[in-house]
């Protein structure tokens, strides 16, 4: 499946986002090691936006107060994510960390419908970047001959298992499950 990257932001240039794509591909490989789903990250000019496709859209301002990005699905059921570049800039956050957060969660749970049942009454949504979503937990990827970018950390399946031990996130920043 392709995730089409579309720039509708006025604060980011197409060329800037295109330079990030090789690192986004490497990041998607990291996520797929733990959350297997075949996806490719593909640049898409704004005037060639496919109607029926998975999309990662860079925009300026969020329509959800306080959100720098989120994922959803279209009325026809296609996964779509938004990254709000002007808001990220305003709050000093990294748009590449937000974008990779959304890419990871599209890979792990494209239709935002999966969860882990921990007890008879306790459930966790399969939001694999939320437990470690701060920019301070990000790591760098250099790819395609371009400067390194910051990308989101994400939890591994073991994070959702009560009482488990070992590595819980890609960057080894979390020391216990849940």
CATH code, domain carrying 76: 3.30.379
Asked whether the CA dihedral 20, 22, 28, 30 is positive or negative, the reply is: negative
Band (pLDDT 50/70/90 cuts) for residue 3 is: very high
pLDDT of the residue at 156: 98
Sequence-ordered alpha helix ranges (H) in the chain: 14-34, 85-90, 95-108
Q: Report yes or no on 168 lying in a domain.
A: no
Query: Is residue 41 situated within a structural domain?
Result: yes
132 located within any domain = no
Write down the pLDDT at residue 140.
98
In-domain check, residue 125 = no
In a domain, 177, yes or no: no
Tell me, yes or no, whether 56 lies in a domain: yes
Q: What is the pLDDT of residues 59-74, one digit of tens each?
A: 999 998 889 999 999 9
* Average confidence (pLDDT) over 31-60: 95
Give the start-end residues of each E strand in 8-148: 40-43, 54-59, 69-73, 79-84, 115-117, 123-125, 139-141
User: Structurally, how many domains does the chain consist of?
Assistant: 1
pLDDT (tens digit, 9 = 90+) per residue, 72-110? Answer: 999 999 999 999 999 999 999 999 999 999 999 999 999
- The tens digit of pLDDT for each residue in 118-169 reads 999 999 999 999 999 989 999 999 999 999 999 999 999 999 999 999 999 9
As a whole number, mean pLDDT of residues 2-20 equals 98
pTM: 0.96
Residue 68: inside a domain: yes
pLDDT at 65: 86
28 within domain boundaries:
yes
Residue 80 and residue 106: Cα distance in Å, rounded?
A: 8
Q: Which domain covers residue 89, as residue numbers?
A: 2-114+139-145
């Amino acid at each position: 499946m392709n995730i089409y990257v579309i720039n509708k932001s006025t604060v980011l240039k197409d060329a800037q986002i295109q330079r990030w794509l090789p690192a986004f591909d490497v990041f998607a490989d990291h996520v797929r090691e733990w959350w297997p789903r075949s996806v490719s990250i593909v640049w898409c000019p704004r005037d060639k936006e496919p109607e029926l496709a998975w999309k990662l859209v860079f925009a300026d301002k969020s329509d959800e107060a306080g959100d720098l990005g989120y994922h959803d699905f279209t009325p026809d059921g296609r996964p779509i994510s938004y990254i709000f570049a002007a808001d990220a800039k305003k709050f000093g956050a990294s748009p590449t960390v937000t974008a990779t957060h959304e890419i990871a969660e599209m890979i792990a749970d494209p239709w935002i419908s999966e969860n882990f049942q921990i007890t008879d009454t306790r459930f966790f949504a399969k939001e694999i970047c939320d437990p470690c979503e701060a920019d301070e937990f990000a790591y760098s990827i250099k790819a395609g001959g371009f400067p390194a970018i910051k990308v989101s950390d994400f939890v591994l399946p073991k994070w959702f298992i009560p009482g488990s031990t070992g590595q819980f996130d890609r960057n080894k920043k979390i020391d216990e499950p849940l």
